[in-house]
Structure 1
Amino acid sequence: MSYFYNSWDQDYKFPFGAIRRSQSCQFTIRLPEETPLDFSPVLVVFRTGFKERFLPMNVKERENGYVLYTATLIPKYAGVHYYYFSYTSNGVRHYIKRGDACHGVLDQGEMFQLTVFGKRYQTPKFLKGGIMYQIFPDRFCSSGKQHENVPSDRVMRNWGELPYYKPDQNGHVWNNDYFGGDLDGIRSKLPYLKDLGVTCIYLNPIFESHENHRYNTANYRKVDPLLGTNEDFRTLCEEAETYGISVILDGVFSHTGADSIYFNKFGRYDNLGAYQSEQSPYYSWYHFWGNKEYESWWGIDTLPNVDENNPSYTKYICGEDGVLDYWMSLGAAGYRLDVADELPDEFLDHLRTCVKKFGEEKIVIGEVWEDASNKEAYGVKRRYLLGDQLDSVMNYPFREAIIAYIKGEAATTFRDRIMGILENYPKCTVDVLMNFVSTHDIERAINRFGGQPCDDKSKDWMAGNELSPEEYNRGKTMLKNAMVLQFFLPGVPSIYYGDEVGLQGWKDPFNRRCFPWGQEDTDLLEYTRQLGKIRREHAVFAEGTIEFLVLEDQVVGFSRYDLETGGSVIVLLNRWGETAMVSLRDKCFDRYAFSTVISGICDGDAIILPGNSYAVISAVRRKTTETAE
């Protein structure tokens, strides 16, 4: 070893990763014995906006020509901290900073991050070890039920047709075509979801809206009439509970629809909207100027922005008997927050307080596309994961890491991406991370894997290009490999409806096509069920620590294990088409005693991995000095 420090190795930093406020954390560096020191090395720590702290490091021990120096930090404040090490030799000051993913190097690199979260921060247990299933309500399942009070300007389509995507003469896509998926349709498929191992349904917006995506809310307190009634939602939650399934809602609180009871730009509603008069009770929610001009979300005039910190709006959403209270009282288990970056800290504080009134098991998940621990939005360092706001986030960094690895990126790069998030996020957050490979905002993974890149393609191209049989088979094979990682890495797998049966789709609206009932890829469906079965039968997937063991060009392998009991499950994935072999006598498995091959081919002390296959092995990890690498 020639490095000075390794933030993933608990001989150098203990404990690994983020820590609680007031929790002791020990840092150790190693310097060659012949290094002349003018003074003892120091650990330098600071938070953004505050002065540096200098902690002297003392000699811990000497080994193999090196001197180990150590210091202990007990942080008084929650927040993202940064640190590095410094020493002076012959009058010259030197620095040890992060040179790659985890190693300290001399006189170059960047600072290390240490996330310090609240002393009492915990996340809901109900999601840990579970499986989430995301549903775009209009496109999952139609009960065939006739609903009342459906607006006459909606265009009803036949199930399975291509969604509308062409703009009108003014360049606007109205998204006014509907396929009739509804809450009763979802309820009828609860046995199907139970069979998949689903424990939580995440519903894209269900509130009354006048576009099919329903992100332009018209009435926060009413289910869209085409989906059913508020009572239908209560019934869905109650019946889902009998299957061990919770239901969370999509909270769209940064903007409303222009066509809404609040704004009423088009006069659809009888009440006085903000666009119509300053006398509207909702006028103060919005920002107007000039001749009826107003601030809108990303310049889209059908989505007027709201001032979330306006007392009237905050009370309406987060107050006593407000919107959040109402849906929680009907059975919602929590919320996924649309564009959490655009929700101010004060509003998020109020929102969490309101949701947690119903118990610590209620959940708040944010849509954040980057590393949520150090995210800056609109010039503000966000504090999503410090204990006062979010329980979890949509795990886009894992999604990109999984897809890049399956498409050929180096195994070490994959490990570094995964470990970087695990190092920065509180462990309790990691256990409920929303791990997906597809969502309603991005092309489906099977298309990403099997077809051409679509970022530079037109909507007309996307509408006219299905995957060829060869592309589909390639995409399906790679999707299977990706799902192994999605299901067994730390966090909670989130299946975007239809991925499990081979539903295709480029970007919006083609990623929101109807579920192909009766035309499912049954092979892919059975594969997904098998992954779910393995996951729910082994408790280490709920909160187990991860250790990467095999990092070869063809095979990646890791262990999920319980720190206390040593119980472990080892996952091996062969991402290529040729057969591979992994010997259980390899040094990387020295800590493990194997018991059962749960899935895969065993030949004596070797695991045989046919092309594009995985193996899962039950084991016990012997207790030794813990390391995250």
Structure 2
Amino acid sequence: MLKAAIYHRPKNEFAYAIDESTLHIRLKTSKNDVHKVILVYGDPYDFNEEEKCWVSNKKEMTFNGSDDLHDYWLVAISPEHRRLRYGFMLENEKASLFYTEKGFYKEQPKDAGYYFCFPFLNKIDVFSPPAWVNSTVWYQIFPERFANGNPKINPEGALAWGSTDPTPTNFFGGDFQGVIDHLDYIEELGITGLYFTPIFKAYSNHKYDTIDYMEIDPQFGDKATFKKLVQKCHEKGIRVMLDAVFNHSGFYFEPFQDVLKQGENSRYKDWFHLQGFPVKAEEPANYDTFAYVPSMPKLNTENEEVKKYLLDVARYWIEEFDIDGWRLDVANEVDHSFWREFRLTVKQAKADAYILGEIWHDSMPWLQGDQFDAVMNYPLTSAITEYFAKANISTSQFANAVTTVTNLYPETVNEVQFNLLGSHDTPRILTISDNNKDKVKLQMFVQFTMAGTPCIYYGDEIGMTGDQDPGCRKCMIWDKNKQDTDMFSFTQKLISLRKNYLLLRTNQNFQFIDVSDGESVVMYRKKDERNEILVIINNNAERKEIAIPAAYQNKQGENLWDQQKTTLASTIEIEGDDFHIVMF
């Protein structure tokens, strides 16, 4: 047994509360090394005087998948007095070992002090993301490019809608009235959440260079129009999430302009990370910025005045306009202390507001219940697109990557992770799939059968194309003759399927089955106390006869895609780039 690969720590994704009485305990072992894991657990104060030993119980852990190096194990436990000491009994054909906080033992230690400790399950420590998020399907809108509903407020030099390709500097006049005018379209698609990229006053067409965080950009409309938009969304059961750019401001942000004019005498000099005077506002700038962009000076969120201003912003848009969440731009470059105060402020204003961080890497430090509810799940995005769209990884590498992602965070986080295939920061999914619509459908199918909350980038549902920014920011196509209505119907059906089957929205007993690199076939299952769902995907352009695992042969179920009863034989034929989904 490879001891060096066995790992646990009594916190984060390895030990956490899922409710007021239940803990999840997770363990990592070397791949194909350990065949059985049993949790040894008990109250730290239970002691048998006669036998002079700690009193413990045992519960077998569930295999929770494999990646390229490790196996994962998971168990739910409800400590009687909300406190726990625990360790692990590991078995394979050669050995049986006990793994505790103090190391490995051939015999079970009798002293509770040897074991891992979960001191007490305090109610306030239970991570409780908003309940509504898991059942939400998001639609990301880049306001400047979605619809022009009020040409009277077009920015100077605005071009005719969709008359040319987008550039970093051109405008087409998208606004709030345009969104209001198309809410019926959004509702028809099945969307229950809108995520807007920045709407605040800014110089650029993307608005990530904020001038005034308390004002709507005039090209989008006024506050009355925005309030009307939120109200109409809520009437249709649609939540609204705004983009908060708190890592940096824009060049024309009044405090930064004051610094440029007043230099060392500016009362705002400590609002930024300045490295000297006079301030040099061209590359290379002598102050910290977003990336190396001088027009986006980094804000000093440790400064009390900056902190108060931004927290007032967070509160204001919730209290005055009833928005439902904040997406946080460049969230990993802002200090943790600020985000902790941000969470308190937001949750006081609206207890079930959704807090979503833009982080592209392992985000556990931000997902411990004191900062964000979730992050944008780009590692899952990468696994899906690298396998289906780009064919850069094998089937086993895809399965390994997805399993790693699902074991990266607590299940409470996984159920509200923001799952996307593309955004304003990436090429469109149809473009990276070489305009192969069937490949796009496979990717969306996987996205919608994973735990979390899926997001569609505006226009992907009608087959829009576009390369890296600015190409991915084309004007929405409203001419029905130019829309891919088949893709729209497919997206509608996916959304409906996800809404109707809770099991698709969770990771309960999620596991890949019979992964084979040579076949380009993906098979995975989910299972709860009542049902099991089996997914089979043929990621190959050719029709394929696929062997059904013995455990599923002759089982009767329902094909969820066509609602027909079905019985699985020893094999099943699936068309090229197609899928089969059965519930038993």
Q: Is TM (by shorter chain) over 0.5?
A: yes
Post-superposition CA distance 1:523-550 (Å, at most 9, x none): 1111111111111111223335123235
Q: 1:262 to 1:32 in 2, by over 3 A?
A: same
| 1:158 aligned to which of 157, 160, 169 | 160
**Shift of the alpha carbon at 1:602?**
7.2
Tell me, what secondary structure is at the counterpart of 1:353? helix
Aligned 1:429-444 pairs, distance under 5 A: 429-444=413-428
Aligned to 1:468: none
Describe the superposition over 1:198-227 as per-residue Cα deviations: whole angstroms up to 9, x where unpaired.
Answer: 111110000000000100000000110000
Q: Please report how far the alpha carbon of residue 4 of structure 1 lies from its aligned counterpart in structure 2 after TM superposition.
A: 3.2
Q: Once structures 1 and 2 are overlaid, which stretch shifts more, 303-312 or 406-415?
A: 406-415
State whether structure 2 residue 274 is matched by structure 1 residue 274.
Answer: no
1:15 aligns with 2:80: no
SS in structure 1 at match of 2:557: strand
Pick from 270, 273, 292: which aligns with 1:287?
273
Residue aligning to 1:500:
461
Residue 125 of structure 1, CA deviation: 1.2
C-alpha deviations, 1:264-304, integer Å up to 9, x for none? Answer: 3xxxxxxxx23222565533211331212341222211111
1:15 is paired with a residue of what secondary structure? strand
Is residue 415–residue 453 contact of structure 2 (8 Å, CA) maintained in 1? yes
Q: Does 1:138 align with 2:150?
A: no
**2:505 corresponds to which letter in structure 1?**
A
Q: Does residue 194 in structure 1 map to residue 187 in structure 2?
A: yes
Evaluate the alpha carbon distance shift between residue 363 and residue 59 of structure 1 in structure 2; reply closer, same or farther with a 3 A threshold.
same
Pick from 520, 531, 556: which aligns with 2:483?
Answer: 520
Q: Distance in 2 between matches of 1:23 and 1:13?
A: 21
What are the residue-to-residue correspondences of 1:179-190 with 2, within 5 Å? 179-190=172-183
Deviation at 1:399, TM superposition (A): 0.7
Task: State the alpha-carbon separation in 2 of the partners of residues 442 and 77 from structure 1.
Answer: 44
Equivalent residues in 2 for 1:63-142, closer than 5 Å? 73-76=116-119, 119-142=125-148
Aligned to 2:439: 478
**Map of 2:40 onto structure 1:** none
Cα distance change of structure 1 residues 536 and 292 upon mapping to structure 2, 3 Å threshold: same
2:522 maps to a residue whose letter is V
What is residue 3 of structure 1 aligned with on the other side?
A: 33
Q: Is the 8 A contact 1:18 1:427 kept in 2?
A: no
Give the distance between the partners of 1:178 and 1:597, measured in 2 at CA: 47
Relative distance call for 1:370 and 1:204 in structure 2 (3 A) is same
Q: Separation in 2 of the partners of 1:389 and 1:18?
A: 26
Greater fraction helix: 2
- Where in structure 1 are there 5+ consecutive unaligned residues? 45-52, 61-70, 79-115, 166-174, 265-272, 374-382, 451-471, 620-629
Using a 3 Å threshold, how does the CA distance of structure 1 residues 317 and 34 change in structure 2: closer, same or farther?
A: closer
Equivalences for residues 226-625 of structure 1 within 5 A: 226-264=219-257, 273-277=258-262, 280-288=266-274, 289-293=276-280, 294-295=286-287, 296-318=289-311, 322-329=312-319, 330-373=321-364, 383-406=365-388, 407-408=390-391, 409-450=393-434, 472=435, 474=436, 476-518=437-479, 519-545=482-508, 546-552=510-516, 553-562=519-528, 565-582=529-546, 586-589=549-552, 594-599=556-561, 604-606=567-569, 607-619=572-584
**1:450-495: per-residue Cα shift (whole Å, max 9, x none)?**
0xxxxxxxxxxxxxxxxxxxxx2x2x22111111101111111111
Provide the rounded CA distance (Å) in 2 between the counterparts of 1:2 and 1:15. 16
Residue range with higher mean Cα deviation, 232-241 or 546-555 = 546-555
Q: Secondary structure at the match of 1:365?
A: strand
Q: CA offsets, 1:107-148, max 9 Å, x none?
A: xxxxxxxxx99831111111112211111110011113423x
Which piece of structure 1 moves more, 599-608 or 178-187? 599-608
**TM-aligned CA deviation for residue 499 of structure 1:** 1.0
Once the 2 structures are TM-superposed, how far is the Cα of residue 424 of structure 1 from its aligned partner? 1.9
Q: Is the 8 A contact 1:216 1:257 kept in 2?
A: yes
Distance 2:77 2:141 in 1: 33
Give the root-mean-square deviation of aligned CA atoms.
3.1
Partner of 1:28: 89
Aligned residue type for 1:143:
G
Q: Deviations over 1:211-251 (max 9, x none)?
A: 00100000000110000112222111111011111000111
Contact 2:35-2:92 at 8 Å conserved across structures: no
* Length-normalised TM-score, structure 2: 0.79
Superposition deviation, residue 583 in structure 1: 5.8
Number of aligned pairs? 500
Counterparts of 1:551 and 1:353, CA distance in 2: 44
* SS of alignment partner, residue 261 of structure 2: coil
Deviation of 1:521 (Å): 1.0
Distance across 2 between alignment mates of 1:290 and 1:77: 53
Distance 1:13 1:301, change over 3 A: closer
Q: Show CA shifts across 1:276-333 (max 9, x none).
A: 2256553321133121234122221111111011000111111xxx101111111211
Q: What amino acid is aligned across from residue 117 of structure 2 in structure 1?
A: I
Whole-Å separation in 2 of the counterparts to 1:572 and 1:25: 38
After superposition, residues 217-228 of structure 1 pair within 5 angstroms as 217-228=210-221
**TM superposition shift of 1:72:** 5.5
Q: In structure 2, what is the Cα distance between the partners aligned to 1:190 and 1:428?
A: 31
Q: CA 1:19 to 1:580, structure 2 compared with 1: closer, same or farther past 3 Å? A: farther
Correspondence for 1:177? 170
Would you say the 8 A contact 2:166–2:474 is kept in 1? no
**Alpha-carbon spacing, 1:22–1:258, altered in 2? closer, same or farther (3 Å):** farther
Q: CA 1:15 to 1:220, structure 2 compared with 1: closer, same or farther past 3 Å?
A: same
* 1:136-192 superposed Cα distances (whole Å, 9 cap, x missing partner): 110011113423xx76xx431121134454xxxxxxxxx442111111111222221
The alignment partner of 2:248 has SS state of coil
- Distance, in Å, in 1 between the alignment partners of 2:477 and 2:557 is 41
Give the whole-Å Cα distance in 2 for the aligned partners of 1:395 and 1:602: 35
Q: Name the SS of the counterpart of 2:191 in structure 1.
A: coil
